[in-house]
Structure 1
Amino acid sequence: MAAPRLPVLFLLLALLVVACRGEASGEGPRGRKVLVLVDDLAVRSSHSAFFGSLQARGLDLEFRLADDPKLSLHRYGQYLYDGLVLFAPSTPRFGGSVDQNAVLEFIDAGHDMILAADSSASDLIRGIATECGVDFDEDPEAMVIDHINYASTEVEGDHTLIAGDDLIESDVILGSKKIDAPVLFRGIGHAANPSNSLVLKVLSASPSAYSANPKTKLASPPSLTGSAISLVSVMQARNNARVLISGSLDLFSNRFLKSSVKKAGSKLSHEKAGNEQFVTETSKWVFHERGHLKAVNVKHHKIGETNEPSMYRINDDLEYSVEIYEWSGTSWKPYVADDVQVQFYMMSPYVLKNMSTDKKGVYSSSFKVPDVYGVFQFKVEYQKLGYTGLSLAKQIPVRPYRHNEYERFITSAYPYYAASFSTMGAFFIFSIAYLYHK
C-alpha cells in the first residue's frame, strides 16, 4: 500500500525544491497571490478593467465573497496570500476565521492591502481604516460635495461627482508620467490621523469641498472641509507593508475608468478621466512593483585590504560598502541616489557620512575610526518618500592600542621628557653639592 504514495512524495519534494529556488533566486514581487473580497461577485465584472491590469502584471487574483464561511488568510501558521483587496464596503463581518484583527495581523506580517469604501461603509471597514491611520466621516450618510470643482461628464454630472486634480507630487507613487486628466471620485472623505506620520494623502479634495449628507440641509458646520479632506490615502508601515485606502469604490470601476470628464467651469474636456492611470500607478506602488529596494553585499574592511576583520583599532582607516537595487517591475536595477548615509554608531553617531555611488548599485564611503574604543555599529537607515525603508546594522568592536603599538617618543610629550631629565639633573647636581661642599 505504500508504493502508490511514492510518486506523490517525490512530487511534493520537487515542489519544495522549486519553492526554495524561487526564494533563493532573489526574484522581485511577481507571481504573488492576492485575495479579493467583494460584497457581490458582480463587482468582478463592473471592475474588470482594474482586475485585468493586476493580472496582466503577474498577480494571481482569487475572488471570494466577504462572508464566505470557509474564508481564511492563513493555514498551519503560513499566510496563503501576499496581498488583500477589500472591495466589500458594506459587509458587517467577514466569514470564516477572518475578522478585523486578522486583517491587521495580515498587515503587521508585512503584507499589502487595498481598501475601497463608499457611503454604505460598515463599522468593520471603518474600523480597519482607523487602525491604518485614517478616519472616515462619522456621519454614515455623508459624501464629499464640491459646488465648484465638480465633474460634468457625458454620463452624468452632479456636485457629488468630484473631478479631483490635487495629487501628491511623487514619481515613485504616481509614476513618472504626469496624470493630466482629473480623477473622478464619488464617495466619502476621510482625514489622516495627525499623530500617524506614516499616512500620505495621494488625492486631496479642493478647498471648496466639504463632507455632508447631500440629501439634507446643513444644520451645523461640517466636520471635514477643504483640503483637509483626503479622497485617497496611502500608508507604508515600518515593516514596509503598504496600504491604500479610498473613499470611493467607483473610483476603480470600468465606468469611471473609461468615462470622459470635463471639470465645471473649464473649457477643456478630456476624452478619458485620469482614473485608469491613477489606479494602475498607485496599485503598482502598493504591491511593491515600484519603490521597492533591497540591500545586499554589505562589506567593510581596512583600506588596502580585502578581508573583513573581526575588530578594528582606534584611528584605523576603513571602507564600508553596500549594494542597493530597485525593482523595476521586471528585474532588479541599480538604485541611484545621492542621499544614502552610513553611521558609525555607539550610543550616538561618531561618524555620519554621505556615501558615493558608482551608479551601478554600489555605495561606499571611507573614514577613520574614532579615537574611542568600545562596541560600534555600522548603520544605514534610509527612509525616503515612497520607497521601502532600509535598516542595516552590523556590529564591530574597536580596541585601543596595545602596549607595544604606541610610539616610543611622542612629540607632544617632549615637555614632560624635558621636565623628567631636568629633575634628574638637578637632583644629581644637588647631591654633589651637598656631599662635597660645606
Structure 2
Amino acid sequence: MAKSPIFILFSLIITFTVTNSFSIENPTDRRILVLLDDLALKSSHSIFFNSLESRGFDLDFKLSDDPKIALQRYGQYLYDALILFTPNSERFGGNLDVAGILEFVDSGKDLIVAADSSASDLIRNVAAECGVDFDEDPSAMVIDHGSYAVSGTEGDHTLIAADDFVQADVLLGNTKIEAPVLFKGIGHSVNPANSLVLKVLSASPSAYSANPKSKLSSPPSLSGSSISLVSVVQARNNARVVFSGSLDLFSNKFFKSPVQKAGSSNKYEKSGNQQFVTELSKWVFHERGHLKAVNVRHHRVGETEEPAIYRINDDLEYLVEIYEWSGSSWEPYVANDVQVQFYMMSPYVLKTMSSDKKGLYLASFKVPDVYGVFQFKVEYQRLGYTSLSLAKQIPVRPFRHNEYERFIPTAFPYYGASFSTMAGFLIFSFVYLYSK
C-alpha cells in the first residue's frame, strides 16, 4: 500500500526531531524531560529551571503519572537527559519504569534524581542500581548538631549548612563556593570500591542519619563523613548521573536564603545552593569535562606519511589532538598525564605524551626488538572527564636478510677463529708436505 505524501513528510519531521540533538560536534544535552510530583514545583524551583533554559536547554515538563510519558519513539530517544523531581512517586505513567530509566542511562543519556525523607521505593531502586544506597529507614533524615544552619528557632538541626565539597574544578567550576549549601533531606552511602561513584557534597563528622522525632535506641546506620548528601556517577559509556538526598536543595527558597553555619561568625546573605547546583548541572549535561580526540596519527621520525608496517628498532612518533567542550566551543585540553602504550599482549612501551598547550600531544620512542602485531593504545581516565579509549593496530616485522650489516662487530671473535683455523691448516699442510 502506497504511503501518502503527508505521512512521509510527517515521518521526516519526526526523524529530524529525534536525531538532531546530541552529537560529536555539540555534545551538550539539549532536550530534557522534567518529571514532577506536583506542577507547583515548576514555580517553587523556577530559578533552577530558568537557568537551564537561559543556557539553551529545551525543558519538557510532565507530571510523573502522565500516561503519555515516553522516552523514545520509533527506536530513537526523544530526550538527551531526564530530571526526576519525583521523590514520592511509586510508579511513573506511560511505559516508564526502573528498567526504562536504566536503559536510558545505558544508552549514554544523563539523569538527575532528587529525593527527600519520603523517598519512594521506585527512587531508591533507581539509586541502588547506580551504586547509591539511601538510608533504609523511611523516616530518617540527616541530623547535625555541630554544623546546622543557624535560624531564628533552634529546631531539630535537620537544616544543615554543608561545605565539604569535592576538590575538583571540572565538577564545580573554577570559582570557589564560599557560602555553605543548605541541605534538608535524606543521606546516602556509596561503595568506596566503586570507582564510578563519587561524593560531591559530604556531611560533617558530627552528622548522623535518624528519625528526628524519636530518640535513638541503637547506633545510626549512617554517620559522620561517610554520609553523602550529593553524589555523582559517570558510567563507562560516559553517561552522567546526579543523586541528591534533598529536593529543597534546588528550590528558590534555599537559593535565596541567608546562611550562617553553627559555630561560625561568617553570615552570608545568600546560600551557596544556586552556584553549587548551576555548576553541577553544567557538568552533568556535558557543558564541561567532555573530551574528544581527533587526528590520531603515527609515522617514522623525519617522515609524514603513515606506514602500513614498521620494522623493529624504527624510531617513530605518535600524535593525537585532544579538545574539551566548553559549552559553546571546543578548546585545547591541557594535561601532563596522557600516556600512550605500544601494546602486544602487554605494553612493551608506556610513554607519557608531551603537549604543545594547544591540544596536540606527541610521544617519540623506538619500536621494540620484537616483531608481531602491535597496537597504539590510549586509555585516558581522569576524575570528572569523559574517558578516551583509542586503539590503532600496526604490524612490526624483523629485518630482511639484506638489511643486516655485512660484518657484525659482536661476531669478530668468530671471524678471527675461522681465519686462524684456515691459516693453521695451510701452515700444517705446507710443513707436512715439504718437510723431511
Q: Which residue does the alignment assign to 1:312?
A: 310
Q: Secondary structure at the match of 2:423?
A: helix
Alpha-carbon distance in structure 1 between the residues aligned to 2:16 and 2:65: 36
Say if 1:327 and 1:333, in contact at 8 Å, map to a contact too.
Answer: yes
Give 1:132's aligned residue: 130
**Residues 140, 4 of structure 1: alpha-carbon distance in 2 compared, 3 angstrom cutoff:** closer
Aligned to 2:101: 103
Equivalent residue number for residue 329 of structure 2:
331
Match of 1:407 in 2: 405
CA distance in 2, matches of 1:16, 1:100: 26
**For residue 196 of structure 2, what is the aligned residue in structure 1?**
198
**Match of residue 423 from structure 2:** 425
The C-alpha deviation readout for 1:129-172, integer Å capped at 9, x for no partner, is 01111111110100000111111246996400000011111111
Residue among 64, 84, 87 paired with 1:86: 84
Task: Give the match for residue 216 of structure 2.
Answer: 218
Matches within 5 A, 1:160-309: 160-309=158-307
**Secondary structure class of the residue paired with 1:412:** helix
CA distance in 2, matches of 1:239, 1:263: 39
For residues 144-155 of structure 1, the aligned pairs below 5 Å read 144-153=142-151
SS at match of 1:371: coil
Paired AA for residue 413 in structure 2 = P
Q: Determine if contact 2:19/2:76 at 8 Å carries over to the other structure.
A: no
Please tell me whether the aligned partners of residues 153 and 260 of structure 1 are also in contact (alpha carbons under 8 angstroms): no
SS at match of 2:416: helix
Q: 1:424 to 1:135 in 2, by over 3 A?
A: same
Q: Report the Cα distance in structure 1 between the residues aligned to 2:359 and 2:317, rounded to whole angstroms.
A: 16
The CA deviation string for residues 282-325 of structure 1, in whole angstroms up to 9 with x for no partner, is: 01011110111111010101111111111100011111110111
In 2, distance between residues paired with 1:213 and 1:318?
65
Q: Which residue pairs with 2:5 in the alignment?
A: 5
Letter in 1 for 2:412: Y
Q: Which AA in structure 1 matches 2:276? A: F
Contact residue 30 and residue 58 of structure 1 kept, 8 A: no
Distance 1:22 1:418, change over 3 A: farther
Structure 1: tracts of 5 or more residues without a match: none
Shift of 1:278: 0.3
Partner of 2:393: 395
Describe the shift of the 1:120–1:82 C-alpha distance in structure 2 as closer, same or farther (beyond 3 A): same
Check conservation: 1:150, 1:158, Cα contact below 8 A: no
Give 1:75's aligned residue. 73
Structure 1 residues 427-436 or 226-235, which shifts more? 427-436
Note the C-alpha offset of 1:419.
1.8
DSSP-derived class of the 1:51 partner: helix
CA distance in 2 between partners of 1:96 and 1:18 (Å): 21
Q: Is the 8 A contact 1:313 1:399 kept in 2?
A: yes
Pairwise CA RMSD: 2.3
- Deviation of the 1:331 alpha carbon: 0.7
Deviations 1:225-267 (A, max 9, x none): 0000000001111111111100000000111011111112222
Partners of 2:359 and 2:204 in 1: CA distance: 41
Distance 1:282 1:3, change over 3 A: closer
Amino acid at match of 2:5: R
* Gaps in structure 2 of 5+ consecutive residues: none
Q: Distance in 2 between matches of 1:129 and 1:18?
A: 30
Q: Deviations over 1:181-207 (max 9, x none)?
A: 010000000011233111111100000
1:81 CA drift (Å): 1.1
CA distance in 1, matches of 2:162, 2:98: 31
Once residues 280 and 85 of structure 2 are traced to their aligned partners in structure 1, the CA distance between those partners, rounded to angstroms, is 16
Residue 361 of structure 2 aligns to which amino acid in structure 1?
Answer: Y
Superposed displacement of residue 434, structure 1: 5.0
Q: Which residue of 1 aligns with 2:111?
A: 113
Q: Quote the Cα distance in structure 2 between the aligned partners of 1:291 and 1:212.
A: 36
Q: CA separation in 2, counterparts of 1:18 and 1:128?
A: 28
Residue deviations 1:312-369 (CA, integer Å, cap 9, x gap): 0001111111011111111111111111111111111111111111111111111111
Structure 2: which amino acid aligns with 1:121? A
Instruction: State the number of aligned residues.
Output: 436
Task: Supply the distance in 1 between the matched residues of 2:239 and 2:195 (Cα, whole angstroms).
Answer: 15
What is the CA distance between 1:380 and its match in structure 2?
1.0
How big is the shift at 1:423? 2.6
For residues 17 and 403 of structure 2, the distance between their equivalents in structure 1, rounded to whole angstroms, comes to 54
Taking structure 1 as reference, are residues 3 and 279 closer, same or farther at Cα in structure 2, changes over 3 Å only? Answer: closer
8 A Cα contact 2:105 2:111, kept in partner: yes
SS in 1 for 2:280: helix
**How far apart are residue 430 of structure 1 and its match?**
4.0
* Deviation of 1:12 (Å): 6.7
Partners of 2:396 and 2:266 in 1: CA distance: 67
- Scaled by the length of structure 2, the TM-score of the pair is 0.94
CA distance in 2, matches of 1:195, 1:392: 26
1: CA distance, partners of 2:398 / 2:297: 23
Distance 2:392 2:145 in 1: 57
Output the CA distance in 1 between the equivalents of 2:189 and 2:202: 10
CA displacement at 1:214 relative to structure 2: 0.5
